[in-house]
A and B are shown apart, each in its own frame.
Chain A
Amino acid sequence: MLAYLVRRIIIAFPVLLGILALTFILVQMLPGDPATVLLTPEEMMGDPGLIERRRAELGLDRPLPVQYVAWLGELAKGNLGTSFHRNVPVTEMLAPRVMPTLILSGTGMVIALLIGVPVGVAAALRQNTKFDYASGVGSMVAVSVPTFFQGLIAIYVFSIWLGWLPSGGMRTLGIPASGIDLLKHLILPASVLSAVLMGPYVRYTRQSLLDVLRLDHVTTAKAKGVPRWGVVVKHALRNSLIPLTTVLAVQIPALLAGTVIIEYVFTWPGMGRLVIEGINSRDYPVILAVVMITAVLVLFFNFIADVTAAILDPRIRL
């Protein structure tokens, strides 16, 4: 197990550096000169040497590789840069946005798992029946309808037409914050988000269970006279859920992309909405910070998923 861990870390490290390097390249592509961003036109007119000194002060006159290392050093200290738009550290803008996004994406993922996995299992056990085909077509529809369109339909039906749920935001203004109020606001966006994730969960659970049901130890169990549910629950299901850990990790970029769109449609005050606001106000450091954080998170969750799979299935360690 230790050797496997070390091998995984050796693979993950260059990927991390690569993610950071690609982010740095994107930073370099950004329009606007950081040296002049914080200066007024009067200051620049009055002193022609000021920009040059400013560049030296910010270290912008050094070669790019040196700047890259210096930038890495700042990152290590937790400095994600300064917002162009509001002139405050990016971390300050990000902090209040993290929790709402975690609530939304966490709830979406849980709903998707609670519905997707049982449906996938049922589809595999009733292979080639109407239920199986319906769940296949259903999950295909769920991934094919654009997220924002699903959101608009949900608002149209449940907020405007039926008037059951609020159409956006995270709480009702003017009444004290409460769990029930939050839940009311959470249902629609979280359900739409779960629809995006559910399709792949159904598919992979079904395929994986079908693969396991064909293995020899399942046949042996059946031959010994183990009842059908016992075969499925004890001998097949546990093994078939191992690949799902990888699917969960692989789906994280899709989860985040879905979150961006859904937060936008439902005016949910999370990181995704911050990204769109950042793009509209050309506030690139904010977007880059989110991009980098999510990329690093994806790498981290992939690592966790690999390790979990290795713990559950010793063959992977070899």
Chain B
Amino acid sequence: MIRQDGPGNRLDVDAMVEAAISAGEAAIEIQSVDDVVALPPRSPFRIGIRRFMKHRLALISLIYLALLGLMAVFAPIVAPANPNAVDLTSLRSAPTSDHLLGTDSAGRDVLSRIIFGARVSLTVGTAAAVSAAGLGTLLGLIAGFTRGWVDTIIMRLVDIFLSFPSLIVILLLVAILGPSVTTIVIVIAFFEWPTACRIVRQMTLALREHDFVLAARASGSSNFRIMRRHILSGVVSPLTVVTTLLSAQAILLEAALSFLGLGVRPPQASWGGMLNEAQSITVLERFPWLWLPPGIAIASTVLAINFIGDGLRDAFDPRQTR
């Protein structure tokens, strides 16, 4: 075959290659009659989305999380009171019609603090997970694509970082750098990237051996274009799963930091920080409304995210057997 140089030609080959991949993968992905009868699937990603919708727990979790997100964004409108307004006449008062979840040791409305606390958890969860996944993807792509000594160095770095008990190192770094949402996000991202890196590298190694990468190379695509157009698109599905699970991890880490008094600084409301008060047996025993609601808030949010991650994994990975 005579190779013709020229932008038109290259685009054609690329388009053909794309078509071949999606056709090929769609053929593999089609598993039930439903998939065939419904609209012709356009991409594995689409098929994955459709399969995800059938996962009931994951779907309920997604709705729950969306509502939570809306509540966090519109917290000033939704919250019945100012989360930092101190009412010295009702300290630790039990739930009443005025304060649906009671008040804390400074007379602040617990429900309002929970609504505002959602902002911290969701911000940390999203920002830390996206940064960690971004860093991991970048290093994973480089490692899998260049191979050789660069790969060796990056993979040894992964081993090194995975050996550290992240909670303790993060505690230490936050103690040194001073607690704030930004510090927490950066430190979590810095110690949680290796999972994403490993998976992206694995996928890259597998994908780069495919004929379509060879075809793209033959038609003159640059390394950068191959990485962006052919490899990254193949990595998207597993990466979505990893990022989801990482955000659950990040929310738990932030909650633990705040519980230990090293998270978001008071008076800003955060769920883990609200539980900090329950360290005294008196509070634990006599004022359950101070610690049960924020604990349930953390648990249900993390559970919802994990269910979504689970649903995504089932949706994108046909080998899984659930």
Instruction: List A contacts of B159 (CB < 8 A).
Output: 11, 15, 18, 299
Most buried by B among A149, A275, A276: A149
A279 contacts B322, CB within 8 Å? no
A257 interface residue per 8 A CB criterion: yes
Known: A18-B160, A260-B167. A287 touches B275 (CB 8 A): no
Instruction: List A contacts of B172 (CB < 8 A).
Output: 26, 279, 284, 287-288, 291
B259 contacts A298, CB within 8 Å? no
Known: A144-B303, A282-B175, A284-B172. A19 touches B164 (CB 8 A): yes
**Chain A interface, number of residues (Cβ within 8 angstroms):** 53
Instruction: Choose one: B156, B164, B176, B298; the contact of A291 (CB below 8 Å).
Output: B164
Closest to A250 in B: B162
B168 contacts A140, CB within 8 Å? no
Contact mask B283-322 → A, CB, 8 Å, 1/0? 0110010010001001100110011001000000000011
Contact mask A139-150 → B, CB, 8 Å, 1/0? 011011111110
B166 contacts A253, CB within 8 Å? yes
**Complex Cα gap A143–B307 (Å):** 11
B164 contacts A253, CB within 8 Å? yes
**Chain B interface, number of residues (Cβ within 8 angstroms):** 44
Instruction: List B contacts of A288 (CB < 8 A).
Output: 172
Contact mask B254-288 → A, CB, 8 Å, 1/0? 01100110100000000010010011010011001
**Complex Cα gap A300–B252 (Å):** 27
Known: A137-B57, A284-B176. A144 touches B302 (CB 8 A): yes
A83 interface residue per 8 A CB criterion: no
Other than A15-B156, A160-B281, A291-B165, give 11 A-B pairs with Cβ distance below 8 A. Answer: A136-B322, A143-B306, A144-B299, A146-B298, A256-B168, A261-B256, A279-B175, A290-B168, A291-B164, A291-B172, A294-B165
- Chain A residues with a Cβ under 8 A of chain B: 11, 14-15, 18-19, 22, 26, 29-31, 127-128, 136-137, 140-141, 143-149, 152-153, 155-156, 160, 167, 207, 210, 253, 256-257, 260-261, 264-265, 275-276, 279, 282, 284, 287-288, 290-291, 294-296, 298-299, 302
